[in-house]
């Protein structure tokens, strides 16, 4: 039985994941994109990966930047997540209006996020309709005040633990 793109999408919607905003600076202009395709690759060295659609407005900017920030979103950030998912909104302006930190290497990080990581791209691979970026985590901060946002069936919300 062949797996159609609609069937594959239906299968993948049933896998829950966290929600991140990937931020970067391309020639001094800050930008970002909402990314649910994020995971750890290695503990030693600390590596993560993100997958970006080859037609995404952020693809070239990420490639040019060579570095990015992973901002793991908390349950208070639904509006921010939807805004960074839109190609219609000026991300440079959004980041400037949010409380943020720019690292020594020029990566913008969103201070209100649950976790913030500064990453350096070590490889990229085009696979199908996405580009996979593997990056080394060079620095990070954890905010223990909130819970992580969860993506499931094309919706975002709170995780509820079973008893």
| pLDDT tens sequence across 96-134 | 999 999 999 999 999 999 999 999 999 999 999 999 999
Domain assignment present for residue 65? The answer is yes
Domain assignment present for residue 12? The answer is no
Domain assignment present for residue 62? The answer is yes
Domain assignment present for residue 8? The answer is no
Burial string for 101-140 (b: 16+ CB within 10 Å, else e) reads: eeeeeebbbbebbbbbbbbebeebeeeeebbbbbbbbeee
pLDDT of residue 131: 98
Domain assignment present for residue 2? The answer is no
Domain assignment present for residue 93? The answer is yes
Provide the domain count of the chain.
1
Q: What is the CATH number of the domain that holds 66?
A: 2.30.110.10
Domain assignment present for residue 51? The answer is yes
Q: What is the residue range of 58's domain? A: 18-147
pLDDT of residue 66: 97
């Amino acid at each position: 039985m062949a797996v159609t793109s609609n069937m594959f999408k239906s299968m993948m919607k049933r896998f829950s994941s966290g929600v991140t905003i990937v931020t970067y600076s391309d020639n001094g202009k800050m930008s970002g994109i909402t990314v649910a395709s994020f995971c750890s690759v290695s503990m030693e060295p600390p590596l993560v990966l993100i997958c970006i659609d080859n037609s995404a407005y952020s693809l070239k900017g990420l490639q040019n930047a060579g570095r990015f920030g992973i901002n793991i979103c908390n349950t208070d950030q639904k509006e921010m997540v939807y805004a960074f998912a839109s190609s219609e909104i000026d991300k440079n302006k959004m980041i400037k209006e949010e409380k943020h930190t720019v690292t020594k290497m020029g990566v913008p990080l969103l201070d209100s996020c649950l976790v913030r990581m500064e990453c350096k791209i070590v490889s990229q691979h085009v696979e199908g309709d996405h580009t996979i970026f593997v990056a080394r985590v060079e620095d990070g901060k954890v905010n223990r005040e909130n819970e992580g946002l969860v993506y499931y069936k094309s919706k975002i919300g709170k995780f509820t633990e079973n008893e």
